Each structure stands twice: as structure tokens, then as C-alpha cells.
Amino acid sequence: MIRTDKMGVAGFADVPKTPNSLETLQATCREEITARCVRLYGPQLRSIILTGSLARGEATFAVSNGRAKLLGDAELILVFHESSPLPEALGVGSTSRSAEAALARIGLECHVELAAVHPKFLRRTKPHIFAYELRDCGRVLWGDRNILRLIPAFASSAIPREDAWQLLCNRMIEMLELAADLTVESKGLLPGLIYRTVKLYLDMATSLLLFAGAYESTYQRRAERLEYLAGRSSDPMEFPFDLRQFSQRVTLCTRWKLSATREDDLCTLLTDGESSSASWEEAVAYARLLWTWELERLTHCSGQVPIRELMKKWMRSQRLWHRLRGWLYVLRREAWFRSRREWRRWARLAWQASPRYWVYAAASELFFRLPCLALQRSVAPQVNGDWKQVYEWLPRHSSSEQAVEEITWRALAAEIVANYESFLTGTRS
């Protein structure tokens, strides 16, 4: 563990300079969170598993003024014995916040995500990106060292292509979190924008590689595989864009992601001295081409089909049970009787698609217009005049009826993110 001074702040000023210091930061996260969970849950636990970028050794830390910040999340799975009841979500959340506070006291800002499961969760896991990376790269920090063997083995080719498309949609929505603050003056300087741009590039690579049958479980191996495909491809129509140029962007983002540095260092890497705003705008353009290309393959469409029509066709292919399962989750989250005023509207939406697909549809309508919208100085730019209609697609409405009549694109972005966090994260529904 890192020793702190009298002010409670660790000496992190030289962290970016050496790989050993980076490992020290990662070890601090692992050890502090693990110790806290063991103290709280003790004999009820069978294992503690680390997943995500920390488990792969690919976490990114930004260092400033002697303090460090983990860009991204520290993700852990608490596996309880089958005979032990799982703690309530509020209790697990409280544990996460207390771990964050303990890390902050030693100078490390870190968002902690804990999930409590029984071993059957691992045994019943079906092929998807998360399960593949968990089995391939997960690290058991405490307890039963063989726990990951409960996850059924499967080849990367067994992962549904829809999972790759959903990953792309999730990254698009995460960039919408910053939409409310985007202006022509500030869009290249927003805290977090650089990191979200990097993650969008990296997971566009993940998504494309899975569609190409060349998926890898780490950022470094994905960058290498993408570079190989770019050198091998001779058909300009094989992929949705120039794969060589895209591969160069992904390689630069990977280099930045795997080194402890500052967020604004990426500006030079990505744009060769140009404004960093160009990089995120370019990322949005890549995302639109990739999103369309993937959906054309999922829906077996060809030709110039409008984005909204592609999405509608994909919605129609969804099985009824998948639609209903998602809406049952919404009902539970919103309380059955308390949400009765929404039942009729939800029934109309459920007939066409799941809540997940509706949130993705709304996100695509807004996200692909984001560069144009951010350049507008007016309060309600008229790039697209049907924000009210798009807003009606979302399961939860927090705006008043009067506000809906005049909803702006920034307000719509906030509503999309709120629905995503409430109904899509932490569930496969």
C-alpha cells in the first residue's frame, strides 16, 4: 500500500514516468477495495473477481498536483456462497462509495463498481463480450482461485454480432453525457471529452473486429489485429471506411490508453497539432459509418437505407419475449401502480421494440447530428425539428408536459443518458 503524508495525500507526482509507478496505482486500487469487501462480507464470500481494464492491466491514470485519477471504473464481482443471501443493491452501493472515499484519502480518485452474484450467475453465462473477457482476463483477487472456470468456455466466434453493435451504441450514449456543455468555444476543452473519444475509438475497433471474425480480448491485441487487417485488405468495399487511417487512430488511442499520462496529451497524438475538437467530430463520423454498416448486416439490407428505417427494421426483427422482458424490468424499476399513467404509452412502445432499442434509436437520432448541433449558437438549433417525437420514444419522462413542447437537443441528451443509466446498465434486458 502507498504511505500517505500528514495531509493524507500520496506522493503521486512522478507516477507517469515509470511502469512500476503505474503498477503501484493499480495495486492500490485492488488492495484497498478487496480489504474493505472482505471486512464487510467475510465468510459469506466465495471469491472476489476483478474485471475490466484494471484486470487486463490496461487502466489509465491521470496525474495532477500530486493526486491521481483512474479514468474509467474499477469493476469487481463479489461472488457469494450459494447459501448466503445477496446484499441489497443499496448496501453494495454504499460499499462502493466507502471504498472510493478511502482511496480519495490517500490521493487516488476512483469510481468503484461492485456487483454481487451467486456462482450460478457464472455457470449460466451465455456468450457475449463481457463473459469472454471475464473468463479470459478476469483476476481472482481473493478466495476460490478456480471460480472463473465456472464460466462455460466458448470461442469468440460464438459471441452474437448484436453484442458488438450494442457496445457501439453504449459508447455513443456515454459521449452524450457531455452534450449539454458542448459549444463552439469549449467543445475541445471539456473534462472527460478526450477520454470518451478514446473509448469510442477503442470500442469501435472492438465492434468492427467482432463483425470481421477477428475479435481479441485486450486493447493491445485488438490494435495489432486491426493493423493486420488494414494491411491485408485490398477491397475498398470490405469495410465501411478506410481501414488504414482508422487503424492509425486506434493505435494512437491504444498507446495513450495504456500509459499513465494527462488527458490533454491525446490532442497532439490524434490531430498532429490541430484542434482536439476535430478528433471527436471525426470519431462521430466513423461511428455513424460503422453503426450503419453493422446494422445493414444485421438486417440484411443493402443500398442507401435511411438510419431511421434501418432501426425500424431491426426493431421488427426482435422477438416478442425480448421486448416484453425489457418492459417488465421497467415496470419493476418504476413501481407497477405508481407508473400506471404510463401503461398505455408503454404498451404502444412495447408492441414495436424493447426499452433498450428505443433508447438506442433516440441516441442515434441525436448523436449523429452532434457536431452540427454543437456549432449552433441558438438555444434550440433547427438541425432536426422532431425532438419531441424522439423524446416520446424514451421509457421515462422527467420533463413536464410544457417543457416537452419546447424540448431542446441538450435536454434530450440528458434524458437519453438518464434512461440509459436507469434501464440499460447492469442488465441484459
The string of pLDDT tens digits covering residues 292-311 is 999 999 999 987 899 999 99
Distance of CA 3 to the CA centre of its chain: 33
Residue 297 and residue 182 share a domain: yes
Residue carrying C-alpha cell 480519495: 104
Residue 361 and residue 345 share a domain: yes
Q: For position 263, what pLDDT does the model report?
A: 53
Please state whether beta strands 108-117 and 60-64 pair in parallel, antiparallel, or not at all (unpaired): unpaired
Range of the domain at 203: 160-315
Question: Which is nearest to 424 in space by CA: 192, 167, 175, 164?
Answer: 167
Domain end point (choices 156, 178, 212): 156
How far is the CA of 418 from the CAs of 118, 197, 367, in angstroms?
28, 20, 15
* Assigned domain for 27 exists: yes
Question: Which is nearest to 48 in space by CA: 116, 121, 96, 136?
Answer: 116
* Assigned domain for 1 exists: no
Residue 275 and residue 260 share a domain: yes
Number of domains in the chain: 3
Residue 178 and residue 127 share a domain: no
φ/ψ of 51, rounded to 5, equals -135, 180
Residue 296 and residue 199 share a domain: yes
C-alpha cell at 139: 483476476
Amino acid, single-letter form, for residue 299: T
Residue 301 and residue 220 share a domain: yes
The segments of the chain whose pLDDT lies below 50 read 1-19, 272-276, 378-382
Domain end point (choices 156, 188, 212): 156
> How would you classify residue 215: left for phi > 0, otherwise alpha for psi between -120 and 50, otherwise beta?
beta
Domain end point (choices 136, 156, 176): 156
